[in-house]
Amino acid sequence: MTNMAERFRQVRSQIRHAAGIAGRPANSVRLLAVSKTKSAQAIAALYALGQRHFAENYLQEALEKQRQLCGYNITWHFIGPIQSNKTKAIATHFAWVHSVDRLKIAQRLSEQRPGHLPPLNICLQINISQESSKSGFSLAELPEMVEQVRLLPNLRLRGVMAIPEPETVYHRQRQPYHLLFQAVQALGRPELDSFSFGMSGDLKAAIMEGATMVRIGTALFGERSYN
Ligand SMILES: *Cc1c(COP(=O)(O)O)cnc(C)c1O
């Protein structure tokens, strides 16, 4: 078995295992393959094993790979920082955007979503560890942002995304996700059904706290090099 096939098998088995412990069906957690810095060939190899959802951070890099992989039935997710001059391309070339961190960005994505496409699925990025270096809304801003963003016609507000401070201790990994999950539940809006929680290092903690999408790069593709 190739490395990639073996890693893919392991990640899916970790997801099934964590979902089982959490008392959730395995299919309630979607695996997103984070392919930033990885080639179109690497994406095609994972696709051949059955993976369909891929996530990218950098627009130009993503567009180039999408061009190379046109004809593949891939659902593309954008998870990187968003500059306002990039919103039109993002609104056009992705099915999901997880990293909406300002109201203005949401407004532009809605205005620029092409009319022939279904509404763009979005998650609000929440700066759950309140790190000054990270973007995202605070928990305190969440209720008001949900009210504003749900009115935008060409978006479908699905939930929240968080990238907590790196933490290796399992019970501490769970805390920020727990807090955010509770805050969303408290809003009482069943359409907020998506929790984009968890990366290679904290996938189990994220699933225990309600993740419906885990964003996995390293554990699937191996380490990234940025040359
Ligand atoms: C790179 C990245 C990931 C994947 O991280 P790994 O640790 O490689 O699994 C997930 N989410 C975001 C927002 C990322 O930028």
> Is residue 146 included in any domain, yes or no?
yes
Question: Phi/psi at 24 (nearest 5 deg)?
Answer: -120, 150
Q: What is the mean pLDDT of residues 172-190?
A: 98
Question: Ligand 1: does its nearest atom lie under 6 Å from the Cβ of 215?
Answer: yes
DSSP states along 105-118:
HHHHHHHHS-TTSP
Query: What does pTM read for this prediction?
Result: 0.97
Sort 191 into a burial class: Cβ within 10 Å, 0-12 / 13-18 / 19+.
exposed
Question: Ligand 1: does its nearest atom lie under 6 Å from the Cβ of 216?
Answer: yes
* pLDDT score of 130: 81
> Is residue 227 included in any domain, yes or no?
no
Pocket residue to mutate for ligand 1, from 165, 168, 199, 225, most atoms within 8 A of Cβ: 199
Question: Ligand 1: does its nearest atom lie under 6 Å from the Cβ of 217?
Answer: yes
| 148 Cα: distance to centroid of ligand 1 (angstroms) | 28
HSE at residue 188, side-chain half, CA atoms within 13 A, is 0
* pLDDT score of 227: 61
Distance CA 220, CA 31 (A): 10
> Is residue 148 included in any domain, yes or no?
yes
Percent of the chain clearing pLDDT 90 (strictly above): 95
Number of structural domains (the chain) is 1
Domain that holds residue 136: 2-221
> Is residue 107 included in any domain, yes or no?
yes
> For 116-141, how does the pLDDT look when each residue is reduced to its tens digit (9 = 90+)?
999 999 999 999 988 777 799 999 99
Give Cα 219 distance to the centre of its chain: 16
For residues 30 and 212, is the Cβ–Cβ distance under 8 A? yes
CATH code, domain carrying 22 = 3.20.20.10
> Is residue 13 included in any domain, yes or no?
yes
> Is residue 226 included in any domain, yes or no?
no
- Nearest-atom number in ligand 1 for the CA of 163 is 13
> Is residue 53 included in any domain, yes or no?
yes
Pocket residue to mutate for ligand 1, from 51, 79, 94, 97, most atoms within 8 A of Cβ: 79
Beta-sheet pairing, 30-34 with 53-56: parallel
Lookup: tokens for 62: 């993503």
